[in-house]
Chains A and B, each alone.
Chain A
Amino acid sequence: MELNPNVPPSAGRGRRIATAIRRPRTQIWFLLPAVVLYGGFFILPTLASYWLAMYDWSGLGPLGDFIGFDNFRRVFEDQEFRRAALHNLWIFIALFVMTNTVSLFLAVLLDRKSWMRGPYRAIIFLPYILSPVVTGFIFEVLLSPNIGIVNPALDAIGLGSLQHTWLADPRTALPVIIIALAWQWNALATVIFMAGLQNVPPEMREAAITDGASPLGVFRHVTLPYLAPAFTVVNVLLAIFAFRAFDLVYVIGGAIGAPNGATLVMGTVIYGNAFGKGSFLDVTTRMSYAMAQGIVLFVILGLVAALLLVYLSRRERRVH
C-alpha cells in the first residue's frame, strides 16, 4: 500500500497518477515468493559455484586457498573427464542417428489415420514417464547373467555363442547404456515429430499427390520442410539430454562408471568428485574441482545447443 515516489506530479498525466495512487503495487507481492525461492536456491548457488570453483576446497572444513583458474586448467588435462566427455559424445551421436531415422519413421507411421493410433501412441510414449531407476533396473535385470532373459533368449534361438556378461564387459557396457537411453528418449522424440507432422496442411499433400508425386517425393518435398521446427526442437533437446545424462547412467554404472570407468559420463564424474565415489576405496571429495567441471559441462552444453540452434534455425528459414 505505498505510493510510487518516483512518478513526478506533472500536468496531463493526472489520470495515470490517479491510477497509481489508487492501485497498490501488488505486482511486487506476486513476484516476491518466486524471487525468494529462486534467488536463494537457484541463482545464489549458481553464482556461488563460479566463485567456489576458484578455490582449492574439498567441501568440508574451512575454505582452502584461492587458486584462480587452476581447477579449470586441470579439468582439460583430466584424462577421466576427457574420457567421460567422449562417452557423452558417443551417446549424442548414437541417439542423433536414431532420433532422425527411427523416431522420425515411427512418427510418420503414427501420423496415418487408424483406430489403433491412440493405443500405439500411448504405448510408444510410455517409457518417457518411467523413472530412471525403473528403466535402469529393467535393463540391468534383462541383461543380468543370473536372472536375465537376454542370454537365455539368445541361446533359445541358436545364438548361444553371443551370450555375454553384458554389463561387466567394458566393450558392451556403454552400448547397453546407450540402448537404455534410446529406449527412453525415443518416446519424446517420436511425440515431438508427431506434433510437427500435424502442422503439415493436408491440402499440400493432396495437391502433390494429384500432381503425380510419389509417396517418397511427397515426404521429401512437402512433409520434411514443414517438419523443420520439430527437427530443431528435437535435436536441441537431445543435446541437452545426452550431455546432461546422469540418472540412468548412475543407476547402471554408478559413480565409478563400472566396469572400470567404461560407463563414466561427465555427470557421474562430477558427482563422484563432489560427493565421493561411494566405494570404500575413494571417499575423498573435491567439491571445488567438481564445480569447475560442472561449469565446463555447462559451457560445452551451451555451445553444442547454441551451434545446433543456429544451424537448424537457419535451415528452417531456408526450407520455408
Chain B
Amino acid sequence: MSTSALNVRRRRSFVTWVGAHSILIIACLLVVAPIYFLVLGSFKSVEEFFASPFGLPKSFGTDNYERAWTEASVGTTIKNSAIVTVSAVFISTVVSCLASYSIARLPLRGAMFWRLLFVGGLIVPVQLIMVAVFITMRWLGLLGSLGSLILTYSTFGIPLGVLVLVGFFQALPKELSEAATIDGASDFQTFRMVILPLSMAPILTVMILNGVWIWNDFFIALILSTKPSLETLPLGILNFFGVYSTEWGLIFASVVISALPVVALYLLMTRRFIAGMTAGSVKG
C-alpha cells in the first residue's frame, strides 16, 4: 500500500472518530441535560425559577429537601416505599427461587406447563388484571393495608423470577445435586447448601429488576392505596404535584429523593444492571 493511500485512510478514520464521539456526546447530553436541570431546580426557590430559568441557584441549601420531607410527606411515603419494596422483593425472590428449582430440577409432573404458566404472566397487561386484583383485595379485606401492595408486587414479580432462574438452574450440572442427594441431603438441604450459593448472580439480577420496578411503579399503588397514609413515594409525588403544582422546589426535591436510591445503586453496579436488563429482555 502506498503512503498516500495510508494517509487518506488515516485521515478518514480520524474524521469517523470525531464524528462518532460527537454523536455519542450529543446523545449523552440529551440524557444528562434534563437530569441536570432537575437537580439544579431542587435547590431553587420559587422566585428563582422565574427570575433565572437557566441560572444556578443562589445557594445549595437543603431547605427544599427539609420541607419536602415534612410538607410533601416524603418522610412517610419513602418509608412505605422501602417497606413494600424490601418485603415484596424478598417474598418474590424466595417464592420464585423455590418454584424455579422444582420446575428445573425436581421430578415435577407438568414442569413445562408450570413454566409457561408463570412466564406467560409477563405479557398480560397490568391494566387488565388490576381491576380484578382490586376486587379480590376488597373481598379479602386487605384493601387499606400495605399488605395488599406487598402481596400484589410479590406476585407480579414471579414471572420474571421464574423466567431468569429456571434457565439458570437448568444450566447447572446435575452431578452437583446428585452428589448431595447420595450423601443423604434432603431436597431442601441440597437446594440451600449446594444450589443457592452458586446462584447468587442470577438471584441478584432478579432482585435488581424487580426492586427497581417496584420502587418506581405507581400504577399498582394508585389502585390499592385507598388512603394517604399508604401512598408510596412515586404516588405521593404525583398526588402532591396535582394539588400544589406551584411548589416547584418541593416537587423537584421529592423527585430527586425518589430517584436517588436507584441511581446510586445503578452507578455502583452499572455492569450488573445492564447485563441484568438485557438478560431479562433477551430471554423474554
Interface residues, chain A, CB within 8 Å of chain B?
A: 23-24, 26-28, 30-31, 33-35, 37-38, 40-46, 48-49, 52, 59, 105-106, 109-110, 112, 114, 116, 118, 120-134, 137-139, 141-142, 146-149, 152-153, 183, 188, 191-192, 195, 233, 237, 240, 244, 246-247, 250-251, 266-267, 270-271, 274-275, 287, 290-291, 294-295, 297-298, 301-302, 305
Contact = CB atoms under 8 A, between A and B. Distances in A.
Leading 4 A-B pairs by shortest Cβ distance:
A294-B128, A131-B216, A45-B132, A34-B99
B128 A297 contact: yes
Interface stretch (B56-64, B68-76, B198-206, B260-268): B260-268
B136 A41 contact: yes
B177 interface: no
A167 to B, nearest CB: 12
B278 interface: yes
A133 to B, nearest CB: 4
A124 B27 contact: yes
Interface in B204-262: 212, 215-219, 223, 234, 237-238, 241, 248, 251-252, 255, 258-259, 262
Given A30-B187, A59-B131, A270-B128, 4 more contacts: A27-B106, A40-B136, A137-B255, A294-B128
Chain B interface, >50% SS class:
helix
Contact of A147 (B50, B94, B135, B158): B50
Given A46-B132, A246-B219, A301 B108 contact: no
A120 B238 CA distance: 31
B197 interface: no
17 contacts: A23-B187, A26-B186, A30-B98, A37-B154, A122-B274, A124-B27, A125-B273, A129-B266, A131-B262, A137-B255, A142-B34, A147-B53, A153-B54, A233-B282, A233-B284, A244-B127, A246-B126
Nearest to A233: B282
Contacts, number: 252
Contact of B125 (A48, A110, A134, A297): A297
B30 interface: yes
B23 interface: yes
Contacts of B151: 37, 41
A66 B40 CA distance: 56
A34 B98 contact: yes
Nearest to B273: A129
B216 A106 contact: no
Contacts of A41: 133, 136, 151-152, 155-156
B278 A191 contact: yes
Given A26-B186, A109-B20, A109-B23, A188 B277 contact: yes
B168 interface: no
Contact of B127 (A26, A31, A237, A246): A246
A34 B118 contact: yes
B189 to A, nearest CB: 10
A244 B126 CA distance: 8
A247 B98 contact: no
B262 A192 contact: no
A7 B277 CA distance: 44
A253 to B, nearest CB: 13
A27 B102 contact: yes
A37 B95 contact: yes
Nearest to B191: A30
A128 B118 CA distance: 25
B133 A294 contact: no
A124 B173 CA distance: 37
A192 B281 contact: yes
A147 B248 contact: yes
A59 B130 CA distance: 13
A278 to B, nearest CB: 9
Contact of B219 (A27, A127, A247): A247
Interface in B82-103: 91, 94-96, 98-99, 101-103
Given A40-B136, A42-B155, A147-B53, A30 B99 contact: yes
A275 to B, nearest CB: 7
B131 A294 contact: yes
A30 B31 contact: no
A270 B28 contact: no
Nearest to A44: B136
A127 B251 contact: no
Contacts of B266: 122, 126, 129
Contact of A120 (B28, B125, B128, B216): B28
Contacts of B217: 131, 247
Contacts of B1: none
